[in-house]
Amino acid sequence: MAGHGGVLKTDPAIERFNVLRENSHTRFRWTRHSIKTAMVGVIAVPVAIFLTAKYGTDRVQTRVPRKEMSFYQSAN
């Protein structure tokens, strides 16, 4: 049967990367990049979703239009 006592060769660089990734919460620091990323995730994305939901639903009809009608209404 196969699989008896095979030796696994580990790469020290991969092991070091895994340790850093598992313990990243202990080394976290607020930098310009992390602040910008947090602001985009906390402010910009929810505002974009809200504006899309608010103004996007007024322009598109949700029911099936007749043949002579368009899907989009004019912006009056």
Q: 53 — alpha (psi -120 to 50), left (phi > 0) or beta?
A: alpha
pLDDT at residue 12 tops 80: yes
Residue 8: predicted pLDDT: 80
- Cα–Cα distance between 23 and 1 in angstroms, integer? 39
Residue 29: predicted pLDDT: 93
Question: How does DSSP assign 37-56, residue by residue?
Answer: HHHIIIIIHHHHHHHHHHHH
Query: What is the model's pTM?
Result: 0.49
pLDDT at residue 7 tops 70: yes
